[in-house]
Amino acid sequence: MESSQGNSFIFTYISKHDINAHVPLRLPSSKENPHLLKTSNFDNDDTQTVGIENINNLLESFMGINDAELATEIWELSTAKTNSMDFAEAIDNSELEEFGFTDDFIIELWGVITDARAGRLK
């Protein structure tokens, strides 16, 4: 048989909570916890996927070509490039030169690439 005094003791401590005494949760920053440092390339992978999809859309609308491998190759040529001239030169010095992309098309491609990098495309 349990004593009623024991039950009352338990319920007293369970039920009495001061809401104002709640300490807000403070999450450690990445400087305080090295495990919070970014260790994956999720954002880069997402940016790359969006960029490749949009390059493929341009290929289809301008040239009637739907080719994810070609779009991926174009994206990969752009990775170390910081301006449209370097990008155009990279295309001209690759196997993609055989496609004969116009300057206007290369500018369109560069626009999609920079928009994807900046996160303006979804």
24/19 Cα distance (integer angstroms): 11
Q: What is the pLDDT of residues 34-90, one digit of tens each?
A: 444 444 343 567 899 999 999 999 999 999 999 999 999 999 999 999 999 999 999
**According to the model, what pLDDT value does residue 46 have?**
86
**According to the model, what pLDDT value does residue 53 have?**
96
**In terms of Cα–Cα distance, which of 47, 28, 29, 30 is closest to 39?**
30
Span 95-120, average pLDDT? 95
10 Å CB burial of residue 80 (0-12, 13-18, 19+) is exposed
3/63 Cα distance (integer angstroms): 85
46/122 Cα distance (integer angstroms): 9
Kindly indicate the confidence band of residue 3, based on its pLDDT and cuts at 50, 70 and 90.
low
10 Å CB burial of residue 27 (0-12, 13-18, 19+) is exposed
**According to the model, what pLDDT value does residue 11 have?**
53
**pTM for the structure as a whole:** 0.64
